[in-house]
Amino acid sequence: MATRWALELEEPVDTAHSLVVPAGEAVLKVNFPDEESEFEPLAFERWSGVGAVRVLEKDDELRAYVVERLRPATQLWELTDDEATEIAAGVLEQLWIPADRPFRRLSDVAARWAEELPTRGFEPELVDPVVDFLREAGPTQRESVLMHQDLHGGNVLLSARGWLAIDAKPLVGEREFDVASLIRDRRPTTKAAMERRLDYLVDRLSLDQERTRGWAIAHALAWNGDSEMVECARMLSS
């Protein structure tokens, strides 16, 4: 790929789920062949550099693509929590464009989560209300916008064009779902911090409060389910 796209590769960035290699004014990213990354380059193409990094080259079969290099690449985590939440909300407003297939639909994902969660060993008092929520909210999507799904302080970087999103796990569905990662940001977090972010995002983005909370809890359990995520779900449920 370096030869094909004339890239002078530098040292890889330390990431857990993909190969990310800076190359001059570009960055090469190669994803694992999982369903979450399947349409990641296409999502960034649809965003066309508005609120998100620009795609320069891609090979869908190899799950590889090249994006512009963002400088200075300051993460939102380096700002105060309130400042970062406000900026992230502005980025989301730019990303929420109408979309449909071939992106995965939140309604389909929610149906699968409702079947899987009871088998994963969570206590019934935590998981049963989540399953009920997924079965009600999944089929009743109120809009179809392109969502980032993993927008948190580490996935919004400062560039010459402003703050831009990277590393999407795109889905199509209602906006209430797409603030889940942001609500539980800066882990380990606190209930007070999550409630403050939730209230701000609901007000700023005109979201439904309870659907937003429900998706945040469901996403924390279904997407990872590690101890910190489970604790976030418990705090948001209480």
The answer to whether the beta carbons of residues 32 and 19 sit under 8 Å apart is no
In the chain, what are the domain boundaries?
Answer: 18-68, 76-237
Give the pLDDT band of residue 194 (cuts 50, 70, 90): very high
Q: Which residue has the tokens 């649809």?
A: 46
The confidence score (pLDDT) of residue 187 equals 84
- Residue 197 makes CB contacts below 8 A (sequence gap 6+) with 81, 85, 179, 182, 183, 185
For the stretch 23-40, pLDDT in tens is 999 999 999 888 888 999
Band the pLDDT of 218: cuts 50, 70, 90. very high
CATH superfamily to which 76-237 belongs: Aminoglycoside phosphotransferase (APH), C-terminal lobe (3.90.1200.10)
- Indicate whether 224 pLDDT > 80: no
Look up the pTM and report it.
0.95
- Position 49 pLDDT exceeds 80: yes
Average pLDDT over residues 175-196: 95
CB 141 within 8 A of CB 173: yes
> Please, which pLDDT band fits residue 226 given cuts at 50, 70 and 90?
confident
The whole-number pLDDT of residue 159 equals: 98
**Average of per-residue pLDDT values in the chain:** 95
Q: Quick one: angle between helices 106-116 and 124-137, nearest 10?
A: 150
List b or e across 148-167, with b for residues whose CB sees 16 or more CB atoms inside 10 angstroms: bbbbbbebbbbbeeebbbbb
pLDDT at 175 over 90: yes
More confident residue, 113 or 101: 113
Per the document, the length of the chain is 238
Digit-coded pLDDT (tens) for 125-153: 999 999 999 999 999 998 999 999 999 99
Name the nearest CA neighbour of 92 among 46, 161, 151: 151
pLDDT in tens, 63-86: 999 999 999 999 999 999 999 999
Separation between Cα atoms, residue 16 and residue 33, nearest integer Å? 14
